[in-house]
Amino acid sequence: MDEEPYLQAGRLLAKAWLEGTTIDMPADLLPEDRQAAYATQDEMAQQLAIEPANTAIGWKVGATSLGVQKAEGYDGPIPGRIFASSVYGNGATVSHTRCLPAKAEAEIAFRFVSAPFQQDYPFNQERLADIVNILPAFDITGTRYTPSCRAGWDSRQNMLAGIADNGNGGVIVLGAEATLGRGMDLKQLAVVLRVNDGEPAPNLWDDSRGDPLAALAWTVNHVYERGFVINAGDVFLTGSLTEPLALEPGDLVECSMPGLGNLSCQVSRA
């Protein structure tokens, strides 16, 4: 692999993340395949980790269902890291400039109570369910690319660029942590996500909703395949349960997840 393009792209994306800006990514720096996209994401993360606040404390994944992948023209999920500086608690105020254009998704998060044993690789859902707690979450997505830049991409370019850009990462809001109940069917969880008392976002059902535990297993295996490790306390976000809702400065986002509680955040005007 030619190292220069992904190094340049990763540094540009890290700079845009730190400055809260968007960039016109040069065409010759766009990744050509998943390997190059992951390498760009890793370089972005390495540059950000120079500041301790941007240490990775977990992973996120999008496009976890076959229905969404087919609709978007993707060949698989879109993973990214969760940085410490991007994680907020329930009721927090988050900056709109951190997530442009901001879209809220209701998701299930898992926190590792203990680190997975490497000898258990490849990991399955049942084993992982024994060592995680569950949390309601928002993934407020963003992008480091300008709209004019993205407009010219086909579905594959959009997927690879999204992977390179830390899985379209923005801000994560986490609710109260609880023990994962074995009787809970997360694929059938009816979620109410709304903005400013507006109409609830449609839930994703059938082949458009990924199984959160299956998404967790896929992501954990993916992390180990890429040569990284998972520690106790790491958080994993597992894909949207609803259609995303666009956010504007001043908006209030609220969500109710039966059995898991309520979650909210305010979007700042700054």
pLDDT in tens, 102-137: 999 999 999 999 999 888 899 999 999 999 999 999
Evaluate whether residue 39 is within a structural domain: no
Evaluate whether residue 43 is within a structural domain: no
151: containing domain: 54-267
21 SS3 class: coil
Q: Pick from 118, 99, 97, 134: which is nearest to 216 by CA?
A: 134
In angstroms, the CA 5 to CA 30 distance is 8
Beta carbons of 105 and 242 less than 8 angstroms apart: yes
* pLDDT at residue 120, rounded to an integer: 86
Beta carbons of 245 and 253 less than 8 angstroms apart: yes
In angstroms, the CA 191 to CA 107 distance is 9
* pLDDT at residue 118, rounded to an integer: 85
Evaluate whether residue 130 is within a structural domain: yes
Evaluate whether residue 1 is within a structural domain: no
Beta-sheet strands, E only, within the chain: 56-62, 78-83, 87-89, 93-94, 103-112, 132-141, 171-174, 178-179, 192-195, 235-240, 245-246, 252-257, 261-267
Phi-psi bin for 105: left (phi > 0), alpha (psi -120 to 50), beta?
A: beta
* pLDDT at residue 41, rounded to an integer: 98
Evaluate whether residue 140 is within a structural domain: yes
Q: Pick from 151, 150, 103, 145: which is nearest to 17 by CA?
A: 145
Evaluate whether residue 258 is within a structural domain: yes
* pLDDT at residue 189, rounded to an integer: 95
* pLDDT at residue 86, rounded to an integer: 95
Evaluate whether residue 123 is within a structural domain: yes
* pLDDT at residue 191, rounded to an integer: 97
Spans in the chain with pLDDT lower than 50: 1
85: DSSP letter: G
CATH code of residue 142: 3.90.850.10
Beta carbons of 10 and 40 less than 8 angstroms apart: yes
* pLDDT at residue 269, rounded to an integer: 80
Number of folded domains in the chain? 1
In angstroms, the CA 100 to CA 85 distance is 17
Evaluate whether residue 8 is within a structural domain: no
